[in-house]
Amino acid sequence: MPPGELTIFTMISLTKTTIGLFFLVLFAPLSNPYKVFAQAESQAQIDSLHQLFNHTKKFEEKKNLLTALSSIYEKKGNWEKYEAVVKEMLLLQEEKEDLLYLAETYNKLGISNSCMGKNEKALDYFRKALEINIAQKEILIAANSYENMAAAYKDMGDYSNATDCLLKSLEIRKVKNHPRLFNNYMKLAVLQQLLDNTPQQDYYLQLARQEMQKKDSIPPDNKAIFYNQLGYIYDTRQMYDSSLLCYQRVIYYSGLIGWNRGIATGLGNLADVYTKTGLLDSAIFYHKKSLKLSEEIVDCISSSEEFLYLAELYQMFNQNDSVMFFANEALRKARECNLLREQGAALKFIADYYSKQRIFEKANDFLQQYYQIKDSISSADIKSNIAELETKYQTKAREQQIELLTAENEIKSQRMDIAWLFIGFLVLLVILVLALLYFRRRKAVFKQSQLQQQLLRSQMNPHFIFNVMGSIQSYLYKNEAEKAADYLSRFASLSRSVLEFSSQESISLKEEIEMLQNYIELQKAGMENPFSVEYFMDEEMETDFIQIPPMLLQPFVENAIKHGFKNIDYQGKLTLGFKEEPGFIAVEIEDNGPGMTPYSEKNHQSMAIAIFQQRKKCLEHKFKKEFTFELQNLNSTDKSRHGVRAYFQLPILTDD
C-alpha cells in the first residue's frame, strides 16, 4: 500500500476526481452476461461454446450459449464478432417469441453501436428494449435501459438527457436498494464534473462512497475506480511515486477480470505522471500502449484522447509532422464517433498550434469551430435544464414519501379503531412495560456514560499529559522547535481522536492504528532510552473498510510500556501485529519485558482488563458477536522468551 494512502483515502469524497476511468466503466452500457460461462476466455473455450451451440437443439441452451459468447467478446472488446453473435440471437428469437430475450438482444445491439460511436443508432435500440421492459413490467431491467441511454447521451454531449435518464434509473433502484446505486451516483458525479459544478459533484461522490461502505466485499472494477481516483489526488499533491503505485493497482485490478478498458486507462494515467516528472520517452511509450489497446477494443473516447496526448508530447520535441498527424487523428476519431467533448479538445489544440506557428488564418478557423462545440456542450440553458430535472426528481421523491406516510397513517387509523375495543384491558400492561423499558434504558445510558468517562480517563490520564507537556517544553528549551511542533501536533491529534472515538460505536481499523501510533510516539518522547516499535500487517488488508469497536487496544499498549519496560537494562521492544481472518481481525501486542509476576499480573488486570471486560460484555450483547481475549507470559509456552503477550480476536462490524 503506498505511503500515506490510509489518510488520503478518507478524503476521496471531498476531492474533485478524474473522469477518464469513470467514462470507461461507469458510462459503458450495461450487459447481462451469464455467470456460468463468464470466465471462458481462451480461443479453445470460445470454439467449444460455438460447437455446443451448433449441436444443441434446445432453445434455452442456445440462448444461454449465445449470451455467454456475446459477454466474452464484449469483455475482449471484439465488437465485430460481438455483433455477429447478437444478430444470431435476433434470428433465434424469431423461432420462438420471447419478448424479454428480444429486449436483451436490442440492449446488446445498443452496446456495440454505442462503443463504436454510433450513438443515434444505439439510442434507437435502447429505446426498443426500454419499451418492451416497461410493457412486461420488468421495472428493474428498465432501470438498466435508462442507464444505457444515459451513456449514449453523455457521449453525444447531451448532458441534459443523460441526467434525466440517470435520475429515472436512480428513482427505480432506490425503491429496491439496488446494488448498482453506486454506479448511478458516480455517473451523476461525472456529469456534474463536466459541467464544473463541484458542490453537486461532491454531493453525489459522498452518496457513492456511502453505497460502497455498505458492501461486504468490493469488486475489482470498483477498486480500480477508487485507486484511479486516489492516484489523481496524489497527482494533484505532486506525490508522483504514490500516484504511480495507485495507477499500477488500477492496471492490476482491471487485469484480474480481464477489463481491457481499465487497463488502457491505467496505462494512460501512468503516462500522464511520467509527463509531469519529465520522463517524456516513458510517457510516449505508455501512451502508445494505451492507444493500441484502446484501438483494439474500439474505444473511441480513449483513442481520441490518447492521440491528442501524443500530439502534445511530440510538440515538446518540436516534431511538427508527428504533432499534426496525431492531432488530426484525434479530431478524426472524435468526429467519427460524434464525441463533442473530445472534438473541442482537439480543435483547441490545433488552433493553439497554428497560432504558435503564426498561421493565424487556420488558427482562427479552428478556434471558431472550437467555440461552436464548447457552446453546444456547456451552455447556461443546459445547466439550467439539468438543475430543473434534479429539482423535479427530488420533488417527486418527497411527494412519494408524503403519499407513503399518508397511506401508513390510514392503515394505522384503521388498526387503532379495531384495537380500541381491547385498549382498556391492555393499558396497565403497556404502562408497566413502558416503565420497565424506560428504567432499563436509563440504566443502560448511565452505564454507557460511566464507561465512556472511564475510557477517557484511561486514555488521557494526568500523568501521561504532564509527561507529554514536559517533553514538548524540553524541546522548546533546547530550541528544537520542529520536534516540539511535531509532538504538539501528535498530542492534539490523539486528544481529538480520543474525544471523537469515545462516543462512536465503531471506527475503521486504519483510525485505530493511527491513534496507537500517535500514542506510542508521545510515550517514547519522554524516555531517556526509548523502546523500539515493530508493526506487522497484511499488505492486502483494506483497513479503510474494516470497522471495529474503538479504543480497545490502547490500555494494553500502555501496560506494555509502563510495566514491561520498567527497570530493564536493555532496550525494550514493542510489537503490534494485525491479521485479517474470516469474520474478525487478529491482534497481537507483545513486549520483551521481564513478564508478569503474580503481583504484577494482578495489577495488569485491575488497571487494564476491568474496563475492557465491561466494554467486552456490552459490545457482545449489542452486536451478538464473541470477542476473544488472552493475556499470558511468553515463557509459559517458550522458555527461551520473556515478556507479555496480549491476543485479541476483534469481530469485524457491519452496518447490518
Residue 651 dihedral angles phi and psi, to the nearest 5°? -65, 140
Residue 462 dihedral angles phi and psi, to the nearest 5°? -55, -40
Q: What is the pLDDT of residue 37?
A: 33
Q: What angle do CA 48, 50, 56 make, to 5 degrees?
A: 100
Q: CA–CA separation, 467 vs 465, rounded Å?
A: 5
Distances (CA, A) of 237 to 273, 386, 510: 12, 32, 21
Look at the pTM and tell me if it is higher than 0.85: no
Q: What is the pLDDT of residue 267?
A: 93
Sheet holding 573-581, edge to edge: 532-537, 573-581, 584-591, 644-651, 628-633
Domain residue ranges in the chain? 259-376, 460-651
Q: Nine-digit cell at 252?
A: 492490476
Q: Would you report the helix, strand and coil content of the chain in percent, each value rounded to 5? A: 75, 5, 20
Q: What is the mean pLDDT of each run of 10 residues along the chain (656 residues)?
A: 34 35 47 36 73 79 82 73 81 74 85 81 90 89 90 87 91 84 82 80 80 73 74 78 90 88 90 91 91 84 89 89 90 84 88 88 87 68 58 61 62 70 74 72 55 50 68 76 83 82 82 90 81 88 86 85 85 92 90 76 55 78 79 88 90 72
HEC assignment per residue over 87-117: HHHHHHHHHCCCHHHHHHHHHHHHHHHHHCC
Among 277, 261, 188, residue whose Cα is nearest residue 228: 261
Tell me if 330 sits within 8 A of 305, measured CB to CB.
Answer: yes
Residue type, 114: S
Tell me if 525 sits within 8 A of 468, measured CB to CB.
Answer: yes
Q: Given the DSSP bridges, would you call strands 573-581 and 628-633 parallel, antiparallel or unpaired?
A: unpaired
What is the dotted CATH code of the domain comprising 259-376? 1.25.40.10
C-alpha dihedral (53, 55, 58, 64), degrees to nearest 10: -20
Residue with cell 514538548: 472
Q: What is the pLDDT of residue 164?
A: 92
The topology under which CATH files domain 460-651 is Heat Shock Protein 90 (3.30.565)
Residue with cell 456475446: 70
Q: What is the pLDDT of residue 577?
A: 94
Q: What is the pLDDT of residue 87?
A: 81
Q: CA–CA separation, 599 vs 602, rounded Å?
A: 5
Q: CA–CA separation, 391 vs 365, rounded Å?
A: 40
Residue 563 dihedral angles phi and psi, to the nearest 5°? -100, -40
Strand partners for 576: 535, 589
Tell me if 310 sits within 8 A of 326, measured CB to CB.
Answer: yes
Q: Please name the residues in contact with 198: beta carbons below 8 A apart, sequence gap of 6 or more.
A: 16, 192
Looking at residue 610, the DSSP 8-state letter turns out to be H
